Amino acid sequence: MKDGMIFPFKKTWRSRLDLEYLDETSGRKIEARMGQSQSEDQADHTAVGKKLKQFTDYASKETLGQVHAGGFLHHRIVLNPDGSQTSPFALSNAERKKRICDAWMEHLQKFKTSSSNPVIQHRLVFTMSEAFHDKLVEAGINPDIVLRSSLKTVLNRFQQRFHPKDSIGYAYGLHHDTDNLHAHVAICPRTAKGIYVGVSMSRSRESGNKNQMTYLMRSFARENRRWDKLLADPEKLKAILEKRLDADKISSFPKIAPKQMEALDLDQSLYATRLRHTYRSIQEVEASLMKKRQAHRTVRILRRLPRLLGRRKPMPVRTIEKVAGAVEKYSLREMQTLLYRMKQSYREDHQIYCQHYGFPTNNQTQNQTHGHHRTQSQRI
């Protein structure tokens, strides 16, 4: 679909496993951008995200360069040498990449091949069109989450279609260093059970190819149609997003730069006061939610220790812990819903304030409202 996500190309990699290209902040990616800038202009292409429109409305430095594992690889990288588990989000990006590479190569070595030049990985790129990106931002939706969610959905369908009752493994990273938000994906050529994973471009009886690429593109077209329908019905979209477990993350809101906040503090009007209060409340709830999630993960790890040591807790203790865990999950869910609603309310207040008073950016030659400004350098 023209205004949706597109799937530009696929490449099979045989020489060696290289996941650095998934990290948009890696030295290799920065060098590549600098090389491109020499043939274009002298602009600073080392700053990730400068080109992407409205990038600062939903992204942050903490999301840049993160490499994630999916499928059976996700379950492999959480395991520690002592048998315990660590959430991928609690690992540094460098440690996560190392664990993915180690698990990837260890898995491939289990399945010997007679080929002198075996496939190490399939490289794919999922790209979001500018028009679709802008529609999501305009609706207050984080394009990063949409692309990541669509990517997982499509690859899950790919697995169910070509490798039922099995699991594929893959790694991916989102990139904001061009005019189009896109995701680089590396697919492991062996399933969890060792079956070869093909990503063919054609179908033939002789080779046995199944034209998996066509299926992937059709699956993305299906996701595009689903999002188009939701974006066309704001009330239905709002109702669906409120029920999502990542409602607080998928909802984006216009950021306020320090200079703009200083100007807002001087404005004592009702609109300015409410906008200022809501914005700071969102920041406080976000910080509280992050601490609560970290504490929840720590408690879960501590509860597993007796089992790892071969000790079994009494039934009353296990029952109390289950109830406490359920209460904690409910509390987290309530905070997520509250944060989502606060962001929606803030967007409405922000729009009203811009319409009545305008929200000048640091560069007066740009668009006069913060919600529609294009500059990226403030937060990169």
3-state secondary structure of 179: coil
CB 47 within 8 A of CB 377: yes
Helix or strand (DSSP H, E) at 7: strand 5-13
CB 44 within 8 A of CB 50: yes
Chain segment 251-291, per-residue pLDDT in tens:
888 888 788 888 888 888 888 888 889 999 998 998 888 88
pLDDT at 207: 46
Helix or strand (DSSP H, E) at 182: strand 182-187
pLDDT for residue 362 is more than 50: no
Residues above pLDDT 70, as percent of the chain: 78
Q: What does the longest C-alpha to C-alpha distance in the chain come to?
A: 75
Q: Which amino acid is at 169?
A: G
Chain segment 308-345, per-residue pLDDT in tens:
666 777 888 778 877 887 888 788 888 888 888 888 88
Q: For residue 366, give Cα distances in angstroms to 139, 260, 261, 262.
A: 22, 14, 18, 19
DSSP class of residue 166 equals S
- Token representation of residue 179: 């005019």
**Dist CA 201 CA 364 (whole Å):** 50
pLDDT at 105: 92
| Helices 270-308 + 258-266 axis angle, to 10 | 130
CB 87 within 8 A of CB 101: no
Q: How far is CA 308 from the centre of its chain?
A: 32
pLDDT at 117: 82
> Which DSSP string corresponds to 300-345?
HHHHHHHHHTT----HHHHHHHHHHHHHHHHHHHHHHHHHHHHHHH
When comparing pLDDT for 51 and 252, which is higher? 252
**For the whole prediction, is pTM greater than 0.95?**
no
- Cite the DSSP H helix spans in the chain: 27-40, 72-77, 93-109, 130-138, 143-162, 212-231, 234-243, 247-250, 258-266, 270-308, 315-356
pLDDT at 257: 77
Using a CB cutoff of 8 Å and minimum separation of 24, what contacts does 259-266 make?
Answer: 259/362, 260/359, 260/360, 260/361, 260/370, 263/360
- Token representation of residue 298: 């720590």
pLDDT at 354: 81
78-92, 93-107, 227-241: segment of lowest average pLDDT? 78-92
Name 121's bridge partners: 13
**Dist CA 189 CA 304 (whole Å):** 34
pLDDT at 213: 86
pLDDT at 45: 42
CB 276 within 8 A of CB 265: yes
What is the mean pLDDT of the segment spanning 160-181?
Answer: 89
3-state secondary structure of 145: helix
In degrees, rounded to 5, the angle at the alpha carbon of residue 236 between the alpha carbons of residues 231 and 238 is 80
When comparing pLDDT for 327 and 1, which is higher? 327
**Dist CA 189 CA 254 (whole Å):** 41
> Which DSSP string corresponds to 361-378?
-SSTTS-S-GGG----TT
Helix or strand (DSSP H, E) at 121: strand 121-128
Per the listing, tokens 């729009």 go with: 351
Question: In which band, very low, low, confident or very high, does the pLDDT at 41 lie, cut at 50, 70 and 90?
Answer: very low
Chain segment 208-249, per-residue pLDDT in tens:
557 888 888 889 889 988 999 999 998 898 888 888 878 888
pLDDT at 154: 94
pLDDT at 345: 87
**Dist CA 48 CA 40 (whole Å):** 17
Per the listing, tokens 């501590």 go with: 302
**Dist CA 149 CA 157 (whole Å):** 12
Question: In which band, very low, low, confident or very high, does the pLDDT at 300 lie, cut at 50, 70 and 90?
Answer: confident
Per the listing, tokens 């906040």 go with: 261
Q: Could you count the other beta carbons within 10 Å of the beta carbon of residue 82?
A: 7
**Dist CA 274 CA 288 (whole Å):** 21
pLDDT at 187: 94
pLDDT at 35: 60
3-state secondary structure of 197: coil
Per the listing, tokens 């597993």 go with: 304
